[in-house]
C-alpha cells in the first residue's frame, strides 16, 4: 500500500510540474498572438496615445513576468481575471461552456468506449476473418480523415436529409432527450474519430495474450472462445487499453475545438476560437489552461489505474 501512495505522490508531483511549465508556455504563446487588443478595439484610426491609454487601463503595458506571476496566482485561486472584450469575469464565461463541453465529451465517450471494446474483442475473436478486415479498414479510414471532414460528411448525409440538425442548439433548459438529439452529430463525429484508436489497441492487446500458456490451458479445458477472451485475456490486457482510453477521453475534452466550430456548439472550443478572433487574451489563457489540466489529470488517472491493474509495473526491474 505504501508503494501505491508513493507512486501516486510522484505522479501528482510530476503532473503539477508539467502544469506549471504548460502555464508558462500558454501565457507566452498568448503574448505572441498577432495583433493587439487595444488596436483591435480602437480600429485603424487609433492614435498612439489612445492605444497606450487602453493598454495602461488593462495593465497590458506591465512587464511579462509581472503579469504572469499575477495571473498564475489568481488562477490558482480560481480567478482567471476579467474578459477584455466584454468586461465580465472569465470564470463566469467559462462555467456554462465547460459544462457543455463535458456533456458532449461524456456523450461521445458513452458511445465510443463500449463500441470500441466490443469491436476490439470481436475482431480478436474472429481474427483474419472478413469481419476483422472490414472493421480494421473502417478504423483506418476514420483515422485518416480529419475531424472537420467527417463532420461535413455527416452533415451532408444526415443533416441535409432532415434526420438531425446541422447546428447543435444547446441550453440548460432543454430536456435530456432534446439535448441528446441536438448534439448527436457532433458526438457521432467524435465517436468515429476516437473509436478506431481504442478498438485497434483492444484488438492488439488481446491478440498479444492469446498465445500465453494460461490461454492455451483454458482452451484445452474446453472453455468457449468468447469466455476465454473476456474472462482471461481482457483483464490482463487492461493496462494498455486503459491508457489508450484515457488518451482518447482527454482528446474528447481538449480536441473538440474544430467539431464545436463546425456545429456551432456553445462549448469551450467555440469560446476559445471567438476569443482568439477578438484578441481576448485572458479567456484564451483560461481555456487553454483548463484543457491542459484535463489532459494531465486524465493521463495521471490512466497511469495510476494501469499500475493498479498490473502490480508488476510498481516494481523496478
Spell out the alpha helix ranges (H) of the chain: 2-31, 37-42, 48-57, 64-76, 90-125, 130-144, 147-154, 176-182, 184-209, 213-220, 225-228, 234-236, 238-254, 257-262, 268-278, 281-309
Distance, first Cα to last Cα, the chain: 19
Largest CA distance in the chain: 86
pLDDT at residue 178 greater than cutoff 80: yes
CA distance to 92, 191, 207, 244, per residue, from 201 (Å): 39, 16, 10, 7
Report the pLDDT averaged over residues 284-292.
Answer: 90
pLDDT band at 116 (very low <50, low <70, confident <90, very high): very high
Q: What is the pLDDT of residues 205-240, one digit of tens each?
A: 888 888 788 888 888 888 888 888 888 888 888 888
CB atoms inside a 10 Å sphere around CB 286: 26
Please state, in angstroms and rounded to a whole number, the distance separating the CA atoms of residues 112 and 310: 24
Q: What is the pLDDT of residues 120-138, one digit of tens each?
A: 989 988 888 999 999 989 8
Single out the residue of 24, 60, 54 nearest to residue 42, CA to CA: 54
**Cross-strand bridge partners of residue 89:** 82
Q: Can you read off the three cell numbers belonging to residue 238?
A: 487492461
Q: Can you read off the three cell numbers belonging to residue 102?
A: 463535458
pLDDT recorded at residue 196:
87
Domain boundaries, the chain: 2-76, 98-314
Q: In terms of pTM, does the model score above 0.75?
A: yes
pLDDT at residue 272 greater than cutoff 80: yes
pLDDT recorded at residue 21:
92
pLDDT recorded at residue 217:
85
Better-predicted residue by pLDDT, 58 or 241: 241
DSSP letter string, 66-96: HHHHHHHHHHHTT---B-TTT--BHHHHHHH
CA distance to 60, 94, 256, 310, per residue, from 236 (Å): 54, 40, 32, 8
pLDDT band at 44 (very low <50, low <70, confident <90, very high): low
Q: Is the CATH code 1.10.3720.10 the one for domain 98-314?
A: yes
pLDDT at residue 59 greater than cutoff 80: no
DSSP letter string, 33-66: SSS-HHHHHH-TT--HHHHHHHHHHTTTTS-HHH
Q: How far is C-alpha 65 from the chain's CA centre?
A: 30
pLDDT band at 101 (very low <50, low <70, confident <90, very high): very high
pLDDT recorded at residue 315:
58
Report the pLDDT averaged over residues 23-45.
Answer: 73
Amino acid at each position: 500500500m505504501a508503494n501505491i501512495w508513493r507512486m501516486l505522490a510522484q505522479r501528482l508531483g510530476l503532473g503539477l510540474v508539467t502544469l506549471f511549465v504548460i502555464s508558462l508556455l500558454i501565457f507566452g504563446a498568448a503574448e505572441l498572438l498577432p495583433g493587439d487588443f487595444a488596436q483591435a478595439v480602437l480600429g485603424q484610426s487609433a492614435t498612439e496615445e489612445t492605444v497606450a491609454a487602453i493598454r495602461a487601463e488593462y495593465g497590458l503595458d506591465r512587464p511579462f513576468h509581472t503579469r504572469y506571476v499575477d495571473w498564475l496566482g489568481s488562477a490558482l485561486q480560481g480567478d482567471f481575471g476579467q474578459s477584455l472584450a466584454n468586461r465580465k469575469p472569465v470564470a463566469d464565461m467559462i462555467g456554462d461552456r465547460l459544462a457543455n463541453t463535458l456533456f458532449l465529451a461524456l456523450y461521445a465517450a458513452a458511445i465510443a468506449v463500449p463500441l470500441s471494446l466490443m469491436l476490439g474483442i470481436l475482431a480478436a475473436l474472429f481474427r483474419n476473418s472478413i469481419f476483422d478486415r472490414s472493421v480494421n479498414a473502417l478504423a483506418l479510414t476514420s483515422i485518416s480523415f480529419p475531424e472537420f471532414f467527417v463532420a461535413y460528411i455527416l452533415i451532408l448525409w444526415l443533416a441535409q436529409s432532415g434526420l438531425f440538425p446541422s447546428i447543435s442548439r444547446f441550453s440548460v433548459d432543454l430536456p435530456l432527450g432534446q439535448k441528446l438529439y441536438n448534439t448527436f452529430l457532433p458526438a457521432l463525429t467524435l465517436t468515429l474519430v476516437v473509436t478506431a484508436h481504442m478498438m485497434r489497441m483492444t484488438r492488439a492487446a488481446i491478440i498479444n495474450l492469446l498465445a500465453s500458456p494460461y490461454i492455451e490451458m483454458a482452451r484445452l479445458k474446453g472453455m468457449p472462445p468468447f469466455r476465454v477472451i473476456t474472462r482471461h485475456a481482457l483483464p490482463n490486457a487492461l493496462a494498455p487499453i486503459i491508457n489508450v482510453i484515457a488518451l482518447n477521453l482527454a482528446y474528447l475534452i481538449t480536441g473538440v475545438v474544430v467539431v464545436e466550430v463546425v456545429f456551432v456548439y456553445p462549448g469551450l472550443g467555440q469560446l476559445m476560437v471567438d476569443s482568439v478572433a477578438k484578441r481576448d487574451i485572458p479567456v484564451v489563457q483560461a481555456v487553454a489552461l483548463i484543457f491542459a489540466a484535463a489532459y494531465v489529470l486524465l493521463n495521471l488517472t490512466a497511469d495510476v489505474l494501469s499500475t493498479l491493474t498490473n502490480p508488476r509495473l510498481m516494481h523496478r526491474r
